[in-house]
């Protein structure tokens, strides 16, 4: 896998490659392997995605990657990249960013997820109105962010992993969206963020 990625990016100086996405948290049901490649930023470089077989490579310049992992991006990207940099087993190539602490940005990330979800995957009334019975797969990331903050660890329990897997597989009842929204609100209110 690494040789395929390096070959596809032979025109760039690759600094790091991390496994991200559902394989990074132990999902038993995935259709591709997502990775992020961090590269030195050449002039005129734009973020890109390379798809090859069952591999999806998100290519980010180093400065933009570093901005994302401190919460200056979407909650999903911040969580993905934060997870990747914390778990050494997700580092596939290069050296980790040692000074990075995802928990320094945890509430900013939670707020991103809450703001995005309140109008979509956390809005159970809207989903029920559309006759949707199960939580959106997109809510998987919000669950992972919440459990990471709750556990103060990127390691989730087997019970939590089962809930996340059911959400990922679109089999989690809508009542979980209501519960997650309330739990996220509580944390944000306690921190005077909401």
Q: State the pLDDT at residue 86.
A: 62
Q: State the pLDDT at residue 29.
A: 66
Q: Identify the CA nearest to 144 among candidates 161, 159, 131.
A: 161
Q: State the pLDDT at residue 184.
A: 97
Average pLDDT, the chain: 85
Top pLDDT among 156 and 45 is at 156
- As annotated, the residues of the chain forming the CATH 3.30.460 domain(s) are 2-94
Least reliable range by pLDDT among 69-78, 95-104, 172-181, 183-192: 69-78
Tens-digit pLDDT profile for residues 70-97: 766 665 565 556 655 666 678 889 987 7
Tens-digit pLDDT profile for residues 11-61: 899 998 988 877 777 777 677 888 889 898 777 777 788 888 888 898 988
Backbone angles phi, psi at 151, to 5 degrees: -85, -15
DSSP code for 114: H
DSSP code per residue over 34-92: EEEEEE---TT---EEEEETTEEEEEEEHHHHHHHHTTSS-HHHHHHHHHHHH-GGGEE
DSSP code for 98: T
Top pLDDT among 114 and 42 is at 114
Select the CATH number that applies to the domain covering 2-94 from these four: 3.40.1350, 3.30.300, 3.30.460, 3.30.70: 3.30.460
116 in helix, strand or coil? helix
Distance CA 52, CA 47 (A): 17
Q: Identify the CA nearest to 90 among candidates 144, 28, 155, 148.
A: 155
134 in helix, strand or coil? strand
């Amino acid at each position: 896998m690494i040789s395929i990625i390096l070959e596809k990016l032979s025109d760039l100086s690759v600094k790091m490659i991390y496994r991200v996405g559902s394989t990074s948290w132990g999902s038993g049901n995935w259709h591709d392997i997502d990775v992020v490649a961090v590269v030195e930023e050449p002039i005129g470089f734009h973020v890109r995605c390379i798809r090859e077989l069952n591999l999806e490579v998100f290519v980010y310049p180093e400065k933009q990657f570093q901005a994302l992992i401190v919460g200056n991006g979407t909650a999903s990207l911040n969580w993905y990249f934060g997870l990747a940099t914390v778990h050494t087993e997700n580092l596939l190539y290069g050296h980790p960013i040692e000074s990075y602490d995802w928990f320094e940005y945890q509430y900013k990330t939670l707020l991103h997820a809450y703001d995005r979800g309140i109008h979509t995957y956390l809005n159970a009334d809207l989903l029920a109105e559309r006759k949707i019975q199960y939580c959106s797969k997109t809510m998987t990331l919000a669950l992972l962010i919440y459990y990471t903050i709750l556990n103060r660890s990127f390691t989730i329990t087997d019970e939590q992993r089962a809930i996340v897997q059911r959400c990922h597989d679109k089999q989690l009842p809508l009542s979980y969206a209501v519960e997650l929204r309330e739990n996220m609100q509580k944390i944000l209110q306690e921190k005077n963020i909401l």
